[in-house]
Amino acid sequence: MPLARTAATFVSPIVESRRWLSGVEFSDDQPLLNLSQAAPADPPPEGLRRAMAEAVLHQDSAHLYGPVLGNPDLRAALAAQISHHYAAQVSAEEVAITSGCNQAFAATIQSLCAEGDAVILPTPWYFNHKMWLDMQGVETQPLPVGTGMLPDVAHAESLITDRTRAIALVTPNNPCGVEYPAELLDAFYDLAQRHGLTLIVDETYRDFDSRTGAPHGLFQRPDWPDTLVHLYSFSKAYRLTGHRVGAIATSPARLLEMEKFLDTVTICPAQVGQIGAAWGIENLAPWLAAERQEILDRRAAIAEGFAPLAAQGWQLLGLGAYFAYVQHPFDTASDQLAQKMLQEIGVLMLPGSMFTPDGSPEGQRQFRIAFANVDRSGISEMIDRLAGFSG
């Protein structure tokens, strides 16, 4: 008997790492440093919460079904924001709202792939992308990253078969943190277009990119909706993680296909989350700019303070957005070290084996550090603990 769809993939690394915490006690002088999850731990700013609360109390539509592809005001506001951010022209008809960015990826794959098709994923990969492909019977074609933790276009082209339907990239990257250069995205776009593939670009962390101006020019191409699917999340920008609000930008024809999937899964995105996202776009630009500066300062703290770890043989492979990606100097595999570090020094990080194919030697040497919820003092404490860890 064939396996159930869910049995075709692994347990979520976030779920698994939370289980590691069961029964572990931490001392007052060495409390838990949780560097496992890339999600804001604080609630949205008060103004946004008030706007959502007012809608709950006084707006009847906040409790009703809405359009499958999202509320028109939010679609229009996001289209305008994308147009401004990328110095391009994107219309509301080319934007849809989803119940989180994971659902945006799921809807995209459902509209592109049949069972037995294939999608190219750079590895280390975002684990939920791999999990969804597994559960849909879609083959993942791993594309190991090269210098600077960046994927190589020529290597990607060598992986393409008659079953390949898409290439999925994440920038700024999860788990590696690196920001993909505009010219690299241009090259991947040209590759996808040349082979009749779709280029999926997940930009969940775009609001924390260190670069100023448009991070790439893909939206400026006149034919972009025919090749590009852009994914976005409001969770990180406005701390709306629990309200599940994501987005897709692509052609109206492709959105029509995605609408069939979305209608059968959630019917529509949650109203209150959409109301919050729309209010955030209109009112929180200065606040979000300050949030970005704080994340960039934490990124700088890791770069500036890494020397004690480098002296112990650690290597900083990638850094940006919410993440640092590192290589450890020990003979023990990262999945075993992760639990040992938790118990001995109170540091919880996800091992690279959770972001790479089974048996990957690279994954056994690497860790992802999610630093979004650790300030400069916490980063200094993390470095001190890791530098004193003997493996």
CB crowding 238-267: b at 16 or more within 10 Å, else e: bbbbebbbbbbbbbeebbeebbebbeeeee
Instruction: Grade residue 84 by pLDDT with cuts at 50, 70 and 90.
Output: very high
pLDDT value, residue 14: 84
Look at residue 2 and tell me whether its pLDDT is greater than 80. Answer: no
Look at residue 1 and tell me whether its pLDDT is greater than 80. Answer: no
The answer to whether position 51 is within a domain reads no
The answer to whether position 169 is within a domain reads yes
Q: Are residues 127 and 240 in the same domain?
A: yes
| Residues 328-338 pLDDT 10s | 999 999 999 99
| Overall number of domains in the chain | 2
The answer to whether position 170 is within a domain reads yes
pLDDT value, residue 235: 93
Q: Are residues 36 and 72 in the same domain?
A: no
Q: Are residues 229 and 252 in the same domain?
A: yes
Q: Are residues 225 and 292 in the same domain?
A: no
| Residues 203-213 pLDDT 10s | 999 999 999 99
Q: Are residues 208 and 235 in the same domain?
A: yes
The residue from 252, 283, 314 where one domain ends is 283
328 vs 386: CA distance, rounded Å:
10
Total-model pTM: 0.96
Residue 217 is encoded by which pair of tokens?
Answer: 């020019």
The residue from 254, 283, 312 where one domain ends is 283
Q: Are residues 131 and 276 in the same domain?
A: yes
Q: Are residues 39 and 108 in the same domain?
A: no
What average pLDDT does range 373-382 have in this prediction?
94
Q: Are residues 110 and 258 in the same domain?
A: yes
Pairing of strands 118-123, 139-144: parallel
Instruction: Grade residue 110 by pLDDT with cuts at 50, 70 and 90.
Output: very high
Which residue reads 């920001």 in tokens?
179
Structural domain range at position 87:
64-283
The residue from 283, 316, 340 where one domain ends is 283
Cβ contact 347:386 at 8 Å: yes
Beta strands per DSSP E along 215-349: 228-233, 246-249, 315-320, 323-327, 347-348
Return the CATH number at 131.
Answer: 3.40.640.10
